[in-house]
Amino acid sequence: MDATAVKHDRGKMCVDENECKGCGLCMEACPPKVIAMSDHLNHYGYKTAEYCGEGCTGCGICFMVCPEPGAITVMRLKAKAAAAVSGSGLEGANA
């Protein structure tokens, strides 16, 4: 495998825009730096965090540092062999 090979996601994070207050703690804590602030405002008038779309490791650190309960959900992807058996590929985890 060469150094330019794309790493596959091991997880996915979702942000509930209605709960996020835009503090940015998740952005600072994210090891692969795959969280950014969105340009639009939620109904409270805050810019919210958003997943950049690739590179999530599923570590759950963003969930742990978030001061808003329920604002961040992290889904860990199962191993390929397990995903082939279950069919869904996602392991539900509010990390």
Q: Tell me, what amino acid is at 54?
A: E
- pLDDT single digits (tens) 23-46: 999 999 999 999 999 999 999 999
Assign residue 39 a region (left: φ > 0; alpha: ψ between -120 and 50; beta: otherwise). alpha
Query: What is the pTM assigned to this prediction?
Result: 0.72
Instruction: Indicate the SS3 state at residue 10.
Output: coil
Domain residue limits, the chain:
11-88
How confident is residue 77, by pLDDT bands cut at 50, 70 and 90?
A: confident
Which CATH code fits 11-88? 3.30.70.20
Percentage with pLDDT > 90 across the chain: 62
